[in-house]
A and B are shown apart, each in its own frame.
Chain A
Amino acid sequence: MTLKNKACIAGIGSTEFTRNSGRSEIHMAVDAALAACEDAGLEPEKIDGMVRFGSAGQTTCEFTTDADVARCLNLPNLNFYSEAPWGGGACCSTILHAAMAVSAGIAKYVLCFRSLKPASGTVRYGRPTAVPVDSHWSYSMPFGFSSPTSWVAAFTNRWMYETGATNDDLGMIALVCRENAVVNPRAIFYRRPITLEDYYKSPMLCTPFRMHDTCLENDGAVAIIVTTPERAKDLKQTPAYITGVGMGMADDSFCMTSFYRDKIGIPEMKYAGKDTFKMAGLTPKDVDVCQFYDAFTSLVPMQMEALGFVEEGEGGAFVRGGDRIRPTGELPINTAGGMLSEAYIHGMNMITEATRQIRGTAITQIPNVEVSMTTGGLGVPTSALILTKG
């Protein structure tokens, strides 16, 4: 019994990515859902399952419910609805939930979606409006340890100390993602290149992170339709098979503040990746292109280590100079610009790019892609996904 290739991504859709959408999260979610149905060639009323983002122990802009979307799409019934929690860690988990549901016959067509508007909405990430001193936050917030940038910066600082990774290495992640975004009309930073000099000139926010080390804050929504390969035959697109997918929580976990382990690191991704590769029967060497969750630059080389693309401590050296991770390199990354430069939709836009790489329709298309990987958010329980042609 395995989930391998029992389900596939049959449709992808998104809104435009902007700094001010001018409409509600619900509205964007439905716009993305309709785009995904159009892409798949599926009548919206056939959707009978839905996976939304759940909380990360506190709200991180999960305002749109499955019921909101179902009501707008006039869905007669949902046989299946679930939530994948932990912020950006949830992105590939939504696909795991959906794949389980369609392969087990619980639902036929499952819509996974994320809609968020931290750029123009009521909740902004990284800008605490008060000091939320409750639960485990009582041990960090009273000390002004209060932004995602600072939490990731803290374990990045230790990782740099242990591995010798440099600021130049972090800058190279920002540059390569930007190079890919510059040619992508969907990207917020379309036609807006940066140099390493620009990277160093961008304001320091929280050591070692400058502005260009941190992802975008924007409005937008992404929707993805998962069904069985049999049903996908009657739809429009070449299916992207869900060949490997996994989740991981690891020990002594908190939301973004798992600082009490012997070695902080990102063990969640080790576990999620191990299960994902095992299900797929593949190794990192087989991956043709990877969308690494890049809320912050350092997370890319750290994941390369956690997932076994490189040895422990070698992530910084691998990305040095950038050529290995450019589209012409041995491991092309974040081909649409990633969340540093395309848009920050909690990793769901990365899954759509991974899907396009399998279809052969990406703007920065890598030749002959057979294995296309995506990863979920770090510092939280997370997930990973491998798509293939089946």
Chain B
Amino acid sequence: MALELNNYHAKYFYDPVAESFEQGFWDAVKQKKLVFQRCTECGEWSHPPRPMCHKCKCQDMEWVESSGKGKIYTFVIFTREVHPMYRVPYEVVVVDMEDEKVRFISNMIDTDPDEVYIGMPVEVEFVDINDEWPLPWFRKAK
């Protein structure tokens, strides 16, 4: 079993609170696009977003759509429930994105805990968790 939708998603999930410089990320999520921040001057990536490029200090950052492909850098399997929104067991994965120099935290769908390993190729899939919000989850790469 991996993370599955249950009634509590609609009940407990509420709008992420974003700073102005993060808004582009969540606007894109609503459109089922995974985007990351890149500096238009020096090309440095940033996630989570920053108000400016931490390398060259330029404030002109752009949103670039991700290929959605990556490899698992590390992961955990929750086996003890901490919140009813998340029925155990479920996996949290920390993914090194393949085409953007960023790391992204998410969950696995359609994947047994025993199948998950460090280095595993994965790809993003958006799942509607309630009427308003899709979330970028991951599955085994095809």
Contact = CB atoms under 8 A, between A and B. Distances in A.
A157 B78 contact: no
Contacts of A206: 76-80
A269 to B, nearest CB: 19
A133 B80 contact: no
Contact of B83 (A136, A146, A203): A146
Given A158-B74, A161-B74, A203-B80, A145 B105 contact: yes
B48 A134 contact: no
Contacts, number: 101
Interface stretch (A19-27, A114-122, A148-156, A271-279): A148-156
Given A133-B16, A134-B16, A154-B74, A142 B80 contact: no
B126 interface: no
A130 interface: yes
Nearest to A133: B16
B90 to A, nearest CB: 6
B122 interface: no
Contact of B14 (A133, A145, A260): A133
A161 B118 CA distance: 8
Nearest to B8: A131
A297 to B, nearest CB: 15
Interface residues of A, number: 35
Given A131-B12, A131-B85, A135-B19, A150 B92 contact: yes
A351 B66 CA distance: 47
Interface in B23-81: 26, 47-48, 73-80
Contacts of A128: 82-83
Among B18, B19, B76, B103, residue most surrounded by chain A Cβ atoms (within 10 Å): B76
A207 B86 contact: no
Contacts of A147: 82
A204 interface: yes
B107 A144 contact: yes
B45 to A, nearest CB: 10
Contacts of B124: none
